[in-house]
């Protein structure tokens, strides 16, 4: 039986699922998220590694050192190029960060906070959620 949340890339080659209801759901305006997503911000959330099941396909992982100095792997579908999740974060051991847009039902998860709002572009309106200038602490 599938887990509560199912997700995947745009073409369906990479599929994964998890049961955890995400509590840390961030809209992140940092430069890394801008560059990696190609958009103004990225929306993502943490899922415990031991609940995260890759059920189909083999994402291509690109290793990257973030501004913070922490290392991480960005995982993309090798067929369609969609970014699906981030893993092996030295700053957050035991967590996988899932890109909200990869969910089959992205409306099932809503953001809880905005972070790196110091990088938020002037044309973006506040979501009215708790805001953090940098990383929440
Ligand atoms: Zn794909
Ligand atoms: Zn970010």
Residue 24 has pLDDT above 80, yes or no: yes
Q: Whose structure tokens read 């067929």?
A: 79
- Of the listed ligands, the closest to the CA of 57 is 1
CA of 107 to the centre of ligand 1 (A): 20
Architecture of domain 5-119: Beta Complex (2.170)
Cα separation, 110 vs 11, in Å, equals 24
pLDDT in tens, 52-111: 999 999 999 999 998 778 899 999 999 999 999 999 999 899 999 999 999 999 999 999
**What's the pLDDT at 43?**
97
Question: Which tokens sit at 81?
Answer: 């190029």
CA of 135 to the centre of ligand 1 (A): 30
Compute the half-sphere exposure of residue 101: CA atoms within 13 Å on the CB side of its CA.
12
Helices (H), 30-134: 31-37
Residue 120 has pLDDT above 90, yes or no: yes
Cα separation, 44 vs 46, in Å, equals 7
**What's the pLDDT at 128?**
98
Residue 134 has pLDDT above 80, yes or no: yes
Cα separation, 30 vs 14, in Å, equals 26
Would the pTM count as exceeding 0.85? yes
CA of 45 to the centre of ligand 1 (A): 20
Where in the chain are the domains? 5-119
In this structure, which residues have their CB less than 5 angstroms from ion ligand 2? 28, 30, 32-33
- Of the listed ligands, the closest to the CA of 91 is 2
CA of 82 to the centre of ligand 1 (A): 6
**What's the pLDDT at 68?**
77
% residues pLDDT > 70 (the chain): 100
**What's the pLDDT at 80?**
97
């Amino acid at each position: 039986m599938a887990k509560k949340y199912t997700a995947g890339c745009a073409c369906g080659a990479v599929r994964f699922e998890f049961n955890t209801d995400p509590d840390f759901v961030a809209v992140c305006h940092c430069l890394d998220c801008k560059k990696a997503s190609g958009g103004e911000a990225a929306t993502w959330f943490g899922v415990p590694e031991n609940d995260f099941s890759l059920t189909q396909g083999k994402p291509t992982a690109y290793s990257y050192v973030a501004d913070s100095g922490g290392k991480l792997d960005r995982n993309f579908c090798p067929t369609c190029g969609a970014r699906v999740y981030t893993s092996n974060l030295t700053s957050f051991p035991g967590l996988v960060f899932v890109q909200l847009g990869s969910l089959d039902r992205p409306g099932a998860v809503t953001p809880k906070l905005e972070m790196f709002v110091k990088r938020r572009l002037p044309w973006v309106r506040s979501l009215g959620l708790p805001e953090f200038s940098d990383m929440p602490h």
